Structure 1
Amino acid sequence: MYTAVLIKGKTYSVMGHVFLLNQEKEIEKKVFQYLNGNEFFDCKQLDVPADDPKTDGQPKEDDKSVKEEEEPQQEQKIYTESELKGMNKTEQEAIVIDLGGDPSEFKNESERISYILEHQEKAGE
């Protein structure tokens, strides 16, 4: 089992997870490998089996190669309006940040959704 805690910033969205400041969240191994070493996160691996050769003495360089392999796979997700309406404010703000926007510029949900729909189309081009 792996966990991550956002220790800098307000929100962070990665690989389908939305992290809020100082809230521990259980994550998958690939997300752990991606975030481990990121100064914005405190990542932990719990319940490590002692006889698992994959985790014993694994050098830091391997983390780098895993990160390089996984980054290209992480393409921008295209959200529909109904998906966005089903999200809470924090999740919408995390997407706005990922698209390069400032969540404080928007007064309400409809402005955030409009921004996301417009800018994800531009990012996909």
Structure 2
Amino acid sequence: MYTAVLIKGKTYSVMGHVFLLNQEKEIEKKVFQYLNGNEFFNCTEVKAPVDDPKTDDQTKEDDKPVEEEEEPSLEAKIYTETELKDMKKDGQEAVIVDLGGDPSEFKNESERIAFILENQQQQEKTGE
């Protein structure tokens, strides 16, 4: 079993799953493989508990943390136009949500990228 938690942005839609900020969701292996390493998510492989009484006598290694904690970034990532063009639509929309925009207002990639670049510059100027 695999889980993913959206840690940046408000919503994120991918492969038929809609993720909301800080809500853990069970996902399939292919979705885990796609999202694992994405800075917007914390993904984990959850080992199913075994009801076999023989394993209860063994030393439990489940008490150890599975993942190292990443330090949260204090500064918002500033994306270049090239990085934004390399992103898929879902990734661009997640950045728009982070910047306080509504992804449904944009008709195409050019409009999404223009919004992101403009709002990043405004946030840099205001020091947010």
Q: TM-score range by the shorter chain?
A: 0.5 to 0.7
Asked if the contact 2:96/2:116 (under 8 Å) is kept, the reply is: yes
1:19–1:107 CA distance, 2 compared to 1 (3 A): closer
Q: Which residue of 1 aligns with 2:90?
A: 90
Identity %: 41
Report deviation, 1:103: 0.5
Task: Name the structure 2 match of 1:45.
Answer: 46
1:31 is matched with which residue? 42
Alignment map for 1:1-125 (pairs within 5 Å): 3-5=2-4, 12=6, 14=8, 20=14, 21=17, 23=27, 24-25=31-32, 27=36, 31=42, 45-46=46-47, 50-51=60-61, 53-55=63-65, 70-71=71-72, 73-124=73-124, 125=127
Query: How far has the Cα of 1:107 moved from its partner?
Result: 1.1
More helix as a share of residues:
1
Q: Is the 8 A contact 2:84 2:92 kept in 1?
A: yes
What is the alpha-carbon distance in structure 2 between the residues aligned to residue 87 and residue 19 of structure 1? Answer: 14
Shift of 1:109: 0.8
Where 1:83 maps in the other structure, the secondary structure is: helix
**RMSD, matched Cα:** 3.8
- Deviation at residue 114 of structure 1 after TM alignment: 0.5
Shift of 1:88: 1.4
Aligned residues: 94
Deviation of 1:122 after TM superposition, in Å, equals 2.2
Q: How much has 1:74 moved relative to structure 2?
A: 4.7
Instruction: Could you tell me which runs of 5 or more consecutive residues in structure 1 were left unpaired when the two chains were aligned.
Output: 7-11, 33-42, 56-65
Q: Displacement, 1:70?
A: 3.6
State TM-score, norm by structure 1. Answer: 0.54
Q: Which has the larger radius of gyration?
A: 2
Distance of 2:120 and 2:104 partners within structure 1: 19
Runs of 4+ in 1 over 4 A off after TM superposition: none
Distance change >3 Å, CA 13–CA 81, structure 1 → 2:
farther
The code of the aligned residue for 2:8 comes to V
The answer for unaligned runs of 5 or more in structure 2 is 19-26, 50-58
